[in-house]
Amino acid sequence: MNLIKKNLKHHNSFRLSSEAELFFEYENPNELKKLNDYCRKNNLRICALGEGTNTIFPRNFKDVVAKSKNKKFKVDKNTVKIGAGVNWNEAVFKTIKNGCFGLENLAGIPGSVGAAPIQNIGAYGSEISEFIKNLECFDIKKNKVVNFLNKDCKFGYRKSVFQLNKDLIINEVTLTLNQKFSPNSSYFSPGIFSVKEDSNDIEYAMNWANKIVELRESKIPNTSDYPNVGSFFKNPLVSEKFFQNNKKLEKLKTFKREGEQIKLSAAEMIDKSDLKGMRLNNLGISSKHSLVFVNFGITTSREVKELENRVIDVIMATYGIKLEREPIYL
């Protein structure tokens, strides 16, 4: 059992000072089972780690931190099986190169394939849940591999069953994609975002995905220069009755309807509350995008929580809406 001590500052995109006394890398569920047996004997728990792009690390991990090295990528017509350790953005472009389409609007989202379903990553009118056929997971409690169909995952807006059940570690994701490229432009106003149509589906999809990456990079600071975890808050969903009865919401744009609910822009609320650019020691809200917290030096998860609470309190006092955090505290 190769357990090592590991400095995790460069294993999380927020660059928070963090250390694991016990760190373990694995490639398959058999290795994970051996680790779980060890943890049971020593009264320890397993904390699964992806690329640390949507998580907030503690100063010290009390549990065993386990990271997948599963780089599997197998294509069978329009079905693609991908290992949890594969970088998500690399997976998107690899599916395109193999003539499998649908993930283009999700290009550029940081993180690993194994972490993507946990919060049902989404962008520009697409979500990963639209394409998931099934997932192979290791169940810590049952100490064995289990399979989840799409319906078992209980996907919703930035949520899934895996957020609540910490005993499930995703090992492999199976996607059902399209063999013909049809760009998803539902999010974009006509003329705002366009890519020249190409008779070659792979070239057309590749250009579209690259344009999506450019769009993301123009809005969200690069983690190499400005350590962050992407969008910190979810866009709130409110009922139509609540929206109509709250006069302060009248001047806000309605972002999108989700069934009977109305989606609002959390970024717009933060902008209009004059919080953009706010600083708390070495932590602050990006002047580039109001939903992004940036680490400007040495900071801790405690300061992240303090800034989070300040923003939540201001938005609640102003609009009567409690913002929900998107990244997960480990």
**Gap between the Cα atoms of 62 and 20, Å rounded:** 7
Based on the residue annotation, tell me whether 45 is a catalytic residue of this protein: no
Structure confidence at residue 191 (pLDDT) = 66
CA nearest neighbour of 273 among 232, 238, 312, 222: 312
DSSP characters for 161-228?
A: HHHH-TTEEEEEEEEE-BSS-----TTSPTTTS-----SSHHHHHHHHHHHHHHHHHHHS--TTTS--
Answer for the pair 48, 66: CB distance below 8 angstroms, yes or no. Answer: yes
Higher pLDDT, 157 or 23: 23
Domains and their CATH numbers in the chain = 4-68 (3.30.43.10), 73-219 (3.30.465.10), 237-329 (3.90.78.10)
Instruction: Give the integer Cα–Cα distance in Å for 266 and 321.
Output: 10
From the candidates 13, 129, 160, 231, give the one annotated as an active-site residue.
Answer: 231
Collapsing DSSP to helix, strand or coil, 142 comes out as coil
For residue 256, the model assigns a pLDDT of 62
Would you say residue 320 has pLDDT above 90? Answer: yes
Whether the pTM exceeds 0.95: the reply is no
Q: What is the pLDDT of residue 288?
A: 84
pLDDT digits (tens, 9 = 90+) for 215-239: 998 888 888 889 999 999 999 999 9
DSSP string, 105-130: GGTT--SBTTTTTTTT-EETTEEGGG
Summarize the confidence of residues 131-159 as an average pLDDT: 97
Three-class SS of residue 272? helix
What would the mean pLDDT of 184-195 be, rounded to a whole number? 77
104, 127, 172, 326: the catalytic one is: 326
pLDDT digits (tens, 9 = 90+) for 63-113: 999 999 999 999 999 999 999 999 999 999 999 999 999 999 999 999 999
What local confidence, expressed as pLDDT, does residue 196 receive? Answer: 78
> Is 158 among the catalytic positions?
yes
User: pLDDT value at position 192?
Assistant: 64
Please give the average per-residue pLDDT across 250-267, as a whole number. 83
**Percentage of the chain surpassing pLDDT 70?**
98
Q: Does the pLDDT of residue 190 top 70, yes or no?
A: no
Q: How much is the mean pLDDT over the chain?
A: 94
Asked whether residue 60 carries a pLDDT value surpassing 80, the answer given is: yes
Q: Is 224 a catalytic residue?
A: no
Please identify which of the residues 158, 265, 286, 301 carries the catalytic annotation: 158
pLDDT of residue 169: 98
Of 109, 91, 108, 113, the residue nearest 100 (C-alpha): 91
